[in-house]
Structure 1
Amino acid sequence: MAKRGYNRGLPPLLPGTCSVTDPRPPIESRTLIEPRTLKGFRDHLPPQALAREGILDIARRVYRSYGFVPIDTPALEYLEILTGKGSDETDKQLYRFTDHGGREVGMRFDLTIPLARFAAQHIGTLGIPFKRYHMATVWRGENTQRGRYREFMQCDFDTIGTTSALADLETVLVVHDLLSAIGLKSFTIRVNDRRVLSGILERLGLADRSTVVLRALDKLGKVSPEGVAAELAGHGIDAAASADLLQLASLSGPADAVLAALEPLAGGTAPGRAGIDALRALLDGAGQAGVPAGRIVIDPSIARGLDYYTGLVLESFLDELPALGSICSGGRYDNLAGLYTKQHLPGIGASLGIDRLLAGLEELGRLETRETAADVFLVYFDEAHRGDYLRIAAALRRAGMAVEMAAEPKRVGQQLKVASKKGFPLALVIGSDEFTAGTAQCKRMQSQHSTVIDWHGDVSVLVAAVAVELAAVGAGG
């Protein structure tokens, strides 16, 4: 019987026949479709995909070390779910359409809104506080630029069901541990509290204008202060109030100095007082947890443009590429799930922008570009010992090493050239003479250093020696 899908699109075979004539014209006379991708969408070749997978593995390990568990949600949601608590800007970026059933649907533009729906729908089963992580693709129809695409992956973690300041602190600690585990040495986590901004707006009599003010302030760094002032003026905010807002957003320096400068601007209001005290406690807790001084800074210009943030907000930057934008952002959103449930479900979390991070690492020349996921390339050039090669490869894999064996017996030099191009850390060479002598040659592909292993037919000895060589390569040997 023919396999399912065999000769798909061609007439079926008739009983008693062995072949059919392909009704399509010869391939040389066909008009070929140009293989291409949409603007803002990309293919990921093995080097980039492996680098991405490596960071995802690190993120999973860090998230789980704090007790977060994985979930997944559909790529498509009812449109009203996605548009209920975003902003005009995110609504414009939505990929939306009417499905075959006549329903208005959209593709998720982040993982936070689907989380709010998920929590409202399942919190009775999950219990609170609920700590989850979610790694998935999202879509936004926005302008493309360096590190910004229309299809990209987010790596979120969130704590749902508590207003505890400890959950806020833990969020910042996870971000710090995650970026450190990725291997970043020079990065800064910038924090603010939306209540500080609410406090100054209350003092200025602009509490009812918070949405337009916060969106304008969020453009600082991309738009000049004069440009932001002009936008504020366009919303009817007078020059004196605009000057106070820009003064607040421009504060920088040591944490104690920034906190002191915030007092006259926002400390006289209840929300401002709460925000300032929360920032001070956050920095104290981070220091107690061992975060280096200066790694976390208070930046009153951090507003986060989305409407649902209510307390702590944070953004993280590569010190060498600040113009790249934030690589890990988030904050507290105590009212997010209110659109979907009457149960109060406060939350706090952050998201790693893995595609932007990869773009930054590539620009800095720190992106590993291997084309293989294997640790060891097993050279196969003596067909008479095929069974021995298979036995050795299986033993290495059982010991936790990833092994790729050449598909065909070819010249050693030819196979080593392939191993070098693909970026294998080690190549293991065992020919007829080596099998007879009970030896093997283990070659470190980057340094070209070779070690002769005496294993005398004992595969366990060979495996142990290869493990030592692999550890040496990992240590920079």
Structure 2
Amino acid sequence: MAQKPSIPKGTRDFTPSEIAKRNYIFDIVKKHFRTFGFQPIETPSFENSDTLMGKYGDEGDRLIFKILNSGDYLNKVDDVTYSSKNSNSLTAKISEKALRYDLTVPFARYVVMHQNEIDFPFKRYQIQPVWRADRPQKGRFREFYQCDADVVGSNSLLQEIELIQLYDAVFTDLGLEGTTIKLNNRKILAGIAEVIGAKHALVDFTVALDKLDKIGEEGVKKEMLAKGILETSIQKAAPLFKLTGSNTDQLAILEAFLGDSEEGSKGVRELRFMIEHITSLGLQSAKLAIDVTLARGLNYYTGAIFEVGAPKGVKIGSIGGGGRYDNLTGIFGLKDVSGVGISFGLDRIYLVLEELGLFPKAIDRSLDVLCLNFGDEEAFAALQLMTTLRKSGLKADLYPSNAKIQKQFKYANSRQVPYVILLGTEELNNGSFVVKNMNTGEQHTYKLESVKDFITSL
């Protein structure tokens, strides 16, 4: 007996209906990317391992899918390495490539390789799948799409302001009003670590802090202690774990707390600049909220950090995020090129729209018109009619065989076709066709020579 087929955990098949809904999101996101002046690029699904490894922190590196070398990949492994059972040493020998973890690091590689062809500042958007060996759960998959918009070659904070406006424009257009755009700054996190005496453990401090909403304050403290951060340092930072009040109030508290840190104070000034200008310009529906625990766990951020939460009542992780990465291209040899970017979590956005019923009602409609098949001669006349309808932009099709009419109507219903055309022997002799409205049951007759009358009636 043949084994029942399956797909890997964390991956999905997509139905025509699901593809239509995803394309609806893609189209809106792309529209606003273009409106804000971003240009499209694409990069390979897999990169050289050394391009990706070491760019996401230890936790991120562990989630990168490695690709085995082709052929007899164990042939070049010496006996000492093989018998040591050290996965890191062995992986370096048998895997030279890996599936991309995100679109940002490949983009940095792209900029370095194409720097002589790019006009800076370069605004690019990219919509492609990425892969992470994560534990699958609601809204978290091992294969998923990212929709990124980045600007490289400018350190102006006006870019951050535009990216916030871009988030607001897209989510408003999707009907996701009331989304919260959380803001922080890597310099603020560095300043906090400096003030509490944990500057040496900045990465461990931020990685733990970023988990506050998942493991709680006690869990964060426990992880920091395990990483060697002193109890006294943790107690100094503790008041910031529960920072409340308006954005203005929180900025004032941070300004006082980080007064002795030059880097931290600079982060506060940058955050204040962004909030004041966005407040002055206004947003359509999104809200801004400072969150000093926001770190996003990625080592390459150096300035502003963004994260977008779903509307209230929807229990799911973030639906967008990003930040500034001044040093990312430097690791590939191109110094002093500042960058900032954001990402839209397509799959989570899909789940939110589905849960809130925000997809257009007719989005599943793959056909506008279905013509029934009454036989070879009638079918040929129907094909001529279909050609005219398709040229006018209608999605039209002919049932492929002269099966029982009841079966053909059942097919039309399953495809949610709004109009069915009947072109039988009588209609063919009369030079006409009958259109049935599947919602109301009403029928109208049109002349074959006056197809436009039907088209204009829609």
- TM category (shorter chain) comes to 0.7 to 0.9
Q: Match for residue 201 of structure 1?
A: 193
Please provide the CA RMSD for this pair: 2.6
Q: 1:393 to 1:283 in 2, by over 3 A?
A: farther
Q: Is the 8 A contact 1:190 1:299 kept in 2?
A: yes
Instruction: Give the distance between the partners of 1:363 and 1:284, measured in 2 at CA.
Output: 34
Q: 1:400 to 1:67 in 2, by over 3 A?
A: farther
Q: 1:294 to 1:108 in 2, by over 3 A?
A: closer
Q: 207, 231, 237: which is aligned to 1:215?
A: 207
Instruction: Say whether 1:148 aligns with 2:118.
Output: no
Alpha-carbon deviation of 1:222? 0.3
Q: 381, 385, 388: which is aligned to 1:392?
A: 385
Q: Is the 8 A contact 2:54 2:61 kept in 1?
A: no
Q: Match for residue 52 of structure 1?
A: 22
Instruction: Give the distance between the partners of 1:115 and 1:336, measured in 2 at CA.
Output: 10
Q: Where in structure 2 are the equivalents of 1:73-88 lying within 5 Å? A: 73-88=43-58
Q: Where in structure 2 are the equivalents of 1:93-104 lying within 5 Å? A: 93-100=63-70, 104=96
Aligned length, in residue pairs = 433
Q: Is the 8 A contact 1:169 1:286 kept in 2?
A: yes
Q: Match for residue 278 of structure 1?
A: 270
Q: Is the 8 A contact 2:169 2:284 kept in 1?
A: no
Q: Match for residue 13 of structure 1?
A: none
Q: Is the 8 A contact 1:379 1:412 kept in 2?
A: no
Q: Match for residue 249 of structure 2?
A: 257
Q: Is the 8 A contact 2:49 2:98 kept in 1?
A: yes
Q: Match for residue 293 of structure 2?
A: 301
Q: Is the 8 A contact 1:373 1:402 kept in 2?
A: no
Instruction: Say whether 1:167 aligns with 2:159.
Output: yes
Q: Is the 8 A contact 1:192 1:298 kept in 2?
A: yes
Instruction: Give the distance between the partners of 2:285 and 2:270, measured in 1 at CA.
Output: 18
Q: Secondary structure at the match of 1:223?
A: helix
Q: Return the letter of the residue paired with 1:43.
A: D
Q: Match for residue 359 of structure 1?
A: 351
Q: Where in structure 2 are the equivalents of 1:222-237 lying within 5 Å? A: 222-237=214-229
Q: 112, 118, 123: which is aligned to 1:120?
A: 112
Instruction: Give the distance between the partners of 1:266 and 1:389, measured in 2 at CA.
Output: 76
Q: Is the 8 A contact 1:165 1:278 kept in 2?
A: yes
Deviates more, 1:35-44 or 1:432-441: 432-441
Q: Is the 8 A contact 2:327 2:335 kept in 1?
A: no
Deviates more, 1:429-438 or 1:344-353: 429-438
| Structure 1 unpaired stretches of 5+ | 1-30, 467-477
Instruction: Give the distance between the partners of 1:61 and 1:340, measured in 2 at CA.
Output: 32
Deviation string for 1:176-209 (max 9, x for gaps)? 2222222323422111111222222222232222
Deviation string for 1:315-346 (max 9, x for gaps)? 11112355411011111111111111233221
Instruction: Say whether 1:36 aligns with 2:6.
Output: yes
Q: Match for residue 333 of structure 2?
A: 341
Q: Is the 8 A contact 1:216 1:232 kept in 2?
A: yes
Q: Secondary structure at the match of 2:212?
A: coil
| Structure 2 unpaired stretches of 5+ | 74-94
Q: 1:262 to 1:419 in 2, by over 3 A?
A: farther
Q: Match for residue 403 of structure 1?
A: 396
Instruction: Give the distance between the partners of 1:92 and 1:461, measured in 2 at CA.
Output: 62
Q: 1:164 to 1:421 in 2, by over 3 A?
A: same
Deviates more, 1:46-55 or 1:141-150: 46-55
Q: Secondary structure at the match of 1:271?
A: helix
TM-score (normalizing by structure 2): 0.86
Deviates more, 1:31-40 or 1:208-217: 31-40
